[in-house]
Amino acid sequence: MPNVKVKRFAAAAVAAAAFAIPATLPAAAAAQGYPQQNVLPVWPDNPNDASIGIGVIPYDEIAPKLNALQAQSNRVSARVAGKSSGGRDLYEVVVTAPETPAETAQQEAWKQLFQDDPVAARTNEALLANFKPTIFVNSSIHGNEYEGVDAGLRVIEELATSTDPAVEQLLQKTRLVVNVTANPDGRIAGVRPNDAGYDPNRDMATISQPETAVIRQLIVKHQPQFSLDLHGYVNRTLIEPTTPPHNANYEYDLYIKHALPLAIGMEDLIKTLPYPEVQNGVVIPFRDYPNGEWDDWPPIYVPMWAMFHGAIGQTIEAPLNPRGNLAAAERARRVAGNIDVHTAVIKTALKYSQDHRNQLLYDYAEYFRRGWAGEPNVDIPDGFVPGWDAEDNYKTEFPRSYVIPTGPSQRSQAAAKRLVDMLIGSDVRVTKAQAAFTAGGKSYPAGSYIVDMHQPKRGVANMMLEPGMDITDRVNDLYAAPAGWSHGLTWGATVDTLWDENPAVATERVFAGEAPGALPAGNTDLLLDPQDAADLRTLNALGEQGVKVHRLPDGSVLVPASARALAAEQAAANGSTFTSPPASWQGAELDKVVVAYTGSAEPRDVLADLGFEARQVSAATLTTGLTDDVDVLVIGGSLNPTSLNQANRAALDAFLARGGGVVGVGTAGAQFVNNAGLLTATATAAGGIASGVASMVNNGGPIANGAQPHSFILQPVWFSNLGAGAVVEQAYAADPLRAGWWPRTGNSGRGNAAGKASIVSHTTAAGNGVALIGTSVFARLHGKGLYPQLGRAILFAAAPLTDDAASTSEDGTVGGDVPATLGLTLGAPASFGAFTPGLARTYTASTTANVISTAGEAALTVSDPSPTATGHLVNGAFSLAQPLQANGSALPATAKTYAGPVSNDVASIEFTQAIGADEPLRTGSYSKTLTFTLSTTTP
């Protein structure tokens, strides 16, 4: 039993916090004043517009109305801000008193001053006298919640045409910005989602849809102090603020002190309206609902997303459902009531912006001041506003900086670019190091990205980059999942957290991420280890151009030297990094891979992002869909082989008989492979709002090699009772919930998922490649880091290899002589950075191990050889209370297992160290020398 041992330190230090002075940027130049008018294109009359039957304004009448208002009034500016997924115009309207170009430039400069120097902003007398707070109204993001559009238009018209001097005065001191119809596709079709099938008001954390990209752009551009999202229908009317849980990255005291009285002011005005349903007041969830029933935890909703930018965000649900079988008079009454309610809400916000102007602007500046100062979450005392108590208090820790490395320690430069672009698009300030530097005990090349958390929108950055927290014990419910979403852990890029250090290196601010792609020198064959959707796009583009490649047992793909020019083109286009191939290899030949899939929008769009030619099939269309060119069937929605009609069953049988591969996702995937007789597997799903970020153990294999140790989950699925020959490439860790909400016990609880399979590969006796994936690769298009796992599963299923699976490796012989080799090289030592006394927190640190093994199976384990406080970090005579964990397990831990030989596999080892709030910490370094062992029982 040969062993290789390497010793390295896992270390941390207790250090003092650093301090830095914020930089300022020059104000953006503005060339135009207001109004900024445009003649909007008019859409053809559409008799099928669902608005007509409801009695609200049809889509095609909106542009003419706005054109007429612009012609009539110099207070109205309209433009097309973007297109819906169905290709329709999205209208941005600004209502304000006319401004000279100089006045507009001054407003823009003040807007910038709030961001750059909030203390200067709130003590600037000219600003305080003349700055125009902005109220952003987002109308009817749910298409069949109609009246927000009509209310927005009514308020625009009233403000545009009123001769009341009070209105003139108001418009001298405010801007109203209206996204007139946030989801025209849904409005016309009379449904909630857009034409692509997505609910845009669950997409703000992901920005996968054009409608949400426009909303994000409007919020970043206008920096509103108020963000009103007009919906329906909750009887009596519902107005936020919400119940807990409250996301800890808001400055919640600054929000609730305005949001609650504002909501009560809205209620007071609504109660005066002539509708019996609203006479007894409205529902304010913060005041009226139990914990968790209507919350602002996930950043998926528009008003919540605006709150991360300092706005007072509120969802408003109009009271009277006008849909269904109603008498015409009753429907008209309800529509009128809803328009009146939404109008009252907007008017109350306008009034509030003037009545509380000084406090509002002071607090708005305070939001950004705290960011620059890097201050911790404020302790908000019980009774801060009526009803505020311990269940409302959520806190997080802000690290000093995040680093998104470039170079060898970045697992995917394409993923890094996507994350950087997401941060920048969300108004986070990102810089690039102009020289190499060392931080947190790790070396970074020039070009690495740094997010200095001393910045005005540190809440936005932290909301995306922090892991999130386990809120299972604090709430029994959420309005909607996910309860965790960390882009830092689940979007495929390596992100390092520096708790107490902002790298000491010259930087420049950047406005886009970069992924230039790379090829090794020389005219050799090329190797691509697909670790991002971008890499699959590269490979699929090569397949499209007729390049034949080979998939190697570890999931990497060899591209022949003859295709070098094409590979270079795709590497540049997609940001893929090719390396040199091993000196000798065996692989399965692949030409262009064609996919058929079941399911709807999400599988369609993930497969498109991966670059596969993919066609949708269903139980009724296998005869026409499973044509001879289809290599792999992806089960993204239910398809039961045992209930197919004869012709479709025959088409499926023929597909399988010619070696077709199957990738099954979730419970539908397991049901299919069971009923098709391909693999026995029991699938169990978590229910309801079980969601967040799961900790995974990667065992390697063609699909899971190089996978991150975290996955996005939304009702995750795990597989057990697996048939013979199934290989578990990835499993849920011993405590599988890193962040989010998931009960511990019960059949669908996380305790039952612990250690169970999440990615399975299997080759049937007949040679079909079969894979199962239980993590949420499709859900809301959010799990970007999971996409390459689906892509690798498809490549595996398209061309399984006999030595992919442990069960078949023992009778395989390798050509040529291979000396028995076990090689182990460790990456940079793991460092937790600084431990902060008095704070309950789980610290993370990671390292990598490069593994070469010619053995039939091998295991990489991490152990603590010390007899002193074995398994715990020590600092002289002091030791930490809780054990050090490696990949989710206390030491000795199995970090990774190999079912077959591997060459240069990079195993990632994540260390976690929990420290309690009341745990005493001694100044100095806590560390342990650990032993990493690569061992085998079948050399």
Which CB atom, from 142 or from 551, has the smaller least distance to Zn ion?
142
> In angstroms, what is the minimal distance from the CB of 479 to Zn ion?
11
> In angstroms, what is the minimal distance from the CB of 139 to Zn ion?
11
Rounded to whole angstroms, the Cα distance separating 733 from 726 reads 19
Which CB atom, from 145 or from 295, has the smaller least distance to Zn ion?
145
Task: Tell me how far apart the 2 most distant CA atoms of the chain are, in Å.
Answer: 93
Reduced to 3 states (helix: H, G, I; strand: E, B; else coil), residue 902 is strand
Which CB atom, from 202 or from 231, has the smaller least distance to Zn ion?
231
Rounded to whole angstroms, the Cα distance separating 308 from 750 reads 31
> In angstroms, what is the minimal distance from the CB of 342 to Zn ion?
12
List, in order, residues 6 or more apart from 869 with CB less than 8 Å away: 879
Q: Are the beta carbons of 846 and 911 closer than 8 angstroms?
A: yes
Cα 903 to chain centroid distance, Å, stands at 33
> Do you find a cis peptide bond into 449, omega within 30 degrees of 0?
no
Residue 215: how many other CB atoms lie within 10 Å? 29
> In angstroms, what is the minimal distance from the CB of 343 to Zn ion?
18
- Geometric angle at alpha carbon 853, from 888 and 584, rounded to 5°: 130
As a three-state string, the secondary structure of 761-809 is EEECCCCCEEEEECCCCCHHHCCHHHHHHHHHHHHHHHCCCHHHCHHHH
Which CB atom, from 152 or from 701, has the smaller least distance to Zn ion?
152
> In angstroms, what is the minimal distance from the CB of 145 to Zn ion?
5
> In angstroms, what is the minimal distance from the CB of 203 to Zn ion?
13
Give contact residues for Zn ion (rule: CB under 5 A): 142, 145, 231
Rounded to whole angstroms, the Cα distance separating 453 from 463 reads 12
> In angstroms, what is the minimal distance from the CB of 240 to Zn ion?
12
First to last CA, the chain: 7
Rounded to whole angstroms, the Cα distance separating 252 from 895 reads 40
> In angstroms, what is the minimal distance from the CB of 222 to Zn ion?
22
Q: Are the beta carbons of 380 and 393 closer than 8 angstroms?
A: yes
> In angstroms, what is the minimal distance from the CB of 231 to Zn ion?
3
- Specify the DSSP element, H or E, that contains 354: helix 328-355
As given in the structure block, the two tokens for residue 659 are: 């070696």
> In angstroms, what is the minimal distance from the CB of 279 to Zn ion?
24
Minimal CA–CA distance to 315: which of 290, 286, 292, 291?
A: 286
> In angstroms, what is the minimal distance from the CB of 243 to Zn ion?
17
As given in the structure block, the two tokens for residue 776 are: 């949420």
Give 454's DSSP letter: S
If phi > 0 it is left, if psi is from -120 to 50 it is alpha, else beta; for residue 236 that is left
The residues with which 678 forms a beta bridge, in sequence order, are none
> In angstroms, what is the minimal distance from the CB of 218 to Zn ion?
18
Rounded to whole angstroms, the Cα distance separating 881 from 619 reads 56
As given in the structure block, the two tokens for residue 633 are: 């069937």
Tell me the C-alpha to C-alpha distance, in Å, between residue 733 and each of 497, 659, 725, 753, 872.
Answer: 22, 33, 22, 8, 20
> In angstroms, what is the minimal distance from the CB of 142 to Zn ion?
4
> In angstroms, what is the minimal distance from the CB of 339 to Zn ion?
16
Q: Are the beta carbons of 538 and 577 closer than 8 angstroms?
A: no
Rounded to whole angstroms, the Cα distance separating 530 from 517 reads 13
Q: Are the beta carbons of 174 and 133 closer than 8 angstroms?
A: yes
Q: Where are the alpha helices (DSSP H) in 77-180?
A: 101-116, 118-122, 125-130, 147-161, 165-172
Which CB atom, from 339 or from 559, has the smaller least distance to Zn ion?
339
Residue tagged 């001879």 (tokens): 628
Rounded to whole angstroms, the Cα distance separating 181 from 875 reads 61
Which CB atom, from 317 or from 363, has the smaller least distance to Zn ion?
317
> In angstroms, what is the minimal distance from the CB of 263 to Zn ion?
17
Tell me the C-alpha to C-alpha distance, in Å, between residue 132 and each of 126, 137, 939.
Answer: 11, 16, 74
Q: Are the beta carbons of 722 and 680 closer than 8 angstroms?
A: yes
> In angstroms, what is the minimal distance from the CB of 202 to Zn ion?
10
Which CB atom, from 266 or from 834, has the smaller least distance to Zn ion?
266
- Geometric angle at alpha carbon 224, from 218 and 227, rounded to 5°: 85
Which CB atom, from 110 or from 301, has the smaller least distance to Zn ion?
301
Which CB atom, from 142 or from 417, has the smaller least distance to Zn ion?
142
Which CB atom, from 231 or from 454, has the smaller least distance to Zn ion?
231
Cβ-in-10-Å burial (0-12, 13-18, 19+) of 461 comes to: buried
> In angstroms, what is the minimal distance from the CB of 157 to Zn ion?
24
Which CB atom, from 314 or from 556, has the smaller least distance to Zn ion?
314
Which CB atom, from 152 or from 611, has the smaller least distance to Zn ion?
152
Cα 806 to chain centroid distance, Å, stands at 34
Which CB atom, from 85 or from 139, has the smaller least distance to Zn ion?
139
> In angstroms, what is the minimal distance from the CB of 259 to Zn ion?
19
The residues with which 934 forms a beta bridge, in sequence order, are 4, 860
Rounded to whole angstroms, the Cα distance separating 534 from 82 reads 26
Reduced to 3 states (helix: H, G, I; strand: E, B; else coil), residue 878 is strand
Which CB atom, from 138 or from 410, has the smaller least distance to Zn ion?
138
Which CB atom, from 149 or from 909, has the smaller least distance to Zn ion?
149
Cβ-in-10-Å burial (0-12, 13-18, 19+) of 511 comes to: exposed
Which CB atom, from 202 or from 458, has the smaller least distance to Zn ion?
202
Which CB atom, from 145 or from 803, has the smaller least distance to Zn ion?
145
Which CB atom, from 142 or from 400, has the smaller least distance to Zn ion?
142
